Amino acid sequence: MCRSIKTLRPPFTDDVTDEDVRAAALQYVRKISGFRAPAAHNTEAFDRAVTAVAEATAVLLASIEVRGRAS
Where along the chain do its domains lie?
A: 18-62
**CA dist., res. 11 & res. 20, Å (int):** 16
Q: How far apart are CA 35 and CA 42, in angstroms?
A: 10
| 29 in Cβ contact with 46 (< 8 Å) | yes
pTM for the model stands at 0.80
pLDDT, tens digit only, all 71 positions of the chain: 456 677 777 666 678 889 999 999 999 999 999 999 999 999 999 999 999 999 999 999 889 887 876 55
The CA–CA distances, whole Å, from 65 to 11, 20, 44, 61, 62 equal 11, 20, 34, 9, 8
